[in-house]
Structure 1
Amino acid sequence: QGSGRIWLDNVNCTGTEATLSQCQARPWGSNSCDHHKDAGVVCSDADTSGQRLLRLVNGSSSCLGRVEVFHDQKWGTVCDDTWDLHDAAVVCRHLGCGTALSAPGSAHFGQGSDPIWLDDIRCRGTESTFTECELGNWGEHNCGHSEDASVVCSGNSRLQGPGRVSQDG
């Protein structure tokens, strides 16, 4: 049970929002409840349904690098066949890293050593998350790791460190 001011009430999310502020809710700070109705969220590294399905590695920040996806309890790479700025835009959006600046292929951020999970990905560029793209069949490809796909995004990830919303900071 919390204490202090209650900031959100009647929160209604569809699941496609990138941030809590995009969900429908009463105006900020307006509520008709007490702390007996406090809600919470527990995050786990074992959850692969959201951002944990996707990561960028071998870059100088969390918003650029070789694209890796999590499948069958193992991280693997994405082949650069058909890889373009539309695909990169969705990866950057999915990870909260701003817009895509480039979509380098040819293992620009080094070759992976794990499975090549995806090939011939097709995103329109408007999808909210990577999983909304046409991904094809997991593990079916005609690639080597010299064709690992990468992205360079414009921003820093919103998924850094623990977060907390409170009146006292």
Structure 2
Amino acid sequence: MDGSHSKEGRLEIFHSGIWGSVCDDSFGHTDAIVACRQLGFRCLSNVQVYTEGGFTTSKIWMDNVSCNGQESYLKSCSFGGWGKHDCSTGENVGIRCYGGCAGDLWLVGGNIEGRLHIYHSGSWGTICDDSFGSQEALVVCKQLLLWTQNYRTTIVQFYTTGHGNGTIWLDDVACNGNENRIADCAHRGWNVHNCGHSEDVSVRCYGSYSSDEGT
């Protein structure tokens, strides 16, 4: 998703080596729940659907999507077939995902890279770059399901971008690489830090999809 904040944007799906959009025909609340779930929002409080026109994508992959709400992946829902549609790029669907579970992560700004945010005590906040390294970035990529049988991360990178907002939730994070969630790594404690938002850390998870998996 590519939107004005970390929980909204134009919905895209990866198929046959290409990212493409989803048409808004018949796309509704239940379909958005499945998309948000695949994007890592396990504890949703609300979803919204809107049309995001004016952006040209190389492909429109899905049209007339119809989910029952129990699916884990958007591709498991009924739709007209890959690349079969009667839509223009002015009918690209956008979604907003509200809520989160404790310890959930989000990369603000992209699907596989961006400023790292974590959900705690009902709000999203950032993680300081102090002591943050490749082991910590690896755990982030694993938690974001960017290290699975369908997407294999081959390179992880971390860098400082700053410009975040809200609470700085974690500082001096130290992982051994075997953890599945960044909150399970050692750290100073929630909201215990000596950082400013200029030290907000970002992560890149480089790799490739082995099947039609991504949104």
Aligned to 2:106: 55
1:140 to 192, 195, 207: 192
What is the letter of the counterpart of residue 177 of structure 2?
A: G
Q: Name the % identity.
A: 38
Aligned to 1:113: 165
Question: Retained in 2: the 8 A contact 1:84–1:103?
Answer: yes
TM-score (norm 1): 0.58
SS in 2 for 1:56: strand
Q: Is 1:84 matched up with 2:136? A: no
Question: Retained in 1: the 8 A contact 2:112–2:204?
Answer: yes
> Gapped runs of 5+ residues in structure 2?
1-68, 73-96, 148-152
For residues 12-161 of structure 1, the aligned pairs below 5 Å read 46-49=99-102, 53-58=104-109, 61-98=110-147, 99=153, 100-105=155-160, 107=161, 110-155=162-207, 160=214
Structure with max Cα Rg: 1
User: How far does residue 82 in structure 1 lie from its aligned partner after superposition?
Assistant: 0.2
User: How far does residue 117 in structure 1 lie from its aligned partner after superposition?
Assistant: 0.8
Question: Kindly tell me: are residues 119 and 154 of structure 1, through their superposed partners in 2, closer, same or farther at Cα, counting changes over 3 Å?
Answer: same
CA–CA distance in structure 1, aligned partners of residues 206 and 108 of structure 2: 16
User: How far does residue 150 in structure 1 lie from its aligned partner after superposition?
Assistant: 0.9
What is the letter of the counterpart of residue 70 of structure 1?
A: Y
Question: Kindly tell me: are residues 119 and 139 of structure 1, through their superposed partners in 2, closer, same or farther at Cα, counting changes over 3 Å?
Answer: same
Question: Retained in 1: the 8 A contact 2:102–2:119?
Answer: no
What is the letter of the counterpart of residue 48 of structure 1?
A: C
Q: Which runs of 4+ in 1 moved over 3 A?
A: 40-47, 155-161
How many residues get paired?
115
> Gapped runs of 5+ residues in structure 1?
1-39, 162-169
What is the letter of the counterpart of residue 119 of structure 1?
A: D
Question: Kindly tell me: are residues 156 and 69 of structure 1, through their superposed partners in 2, closer, same or farther at Cα, counting changes over 3 Å?
Answer: farther
TM-score (norm 2): 0.47
Post-superposition CA distance 1:79-131 (Å, at most 9, x none): 000000000000001001133421112x2xx4102111110001111212222
Question: Kindly tell me: are residues 94 and 115 of structure 1, through their superposed partners in 2, closer, same or farther at Cα, counting changes over 3 Å?
Answer: same
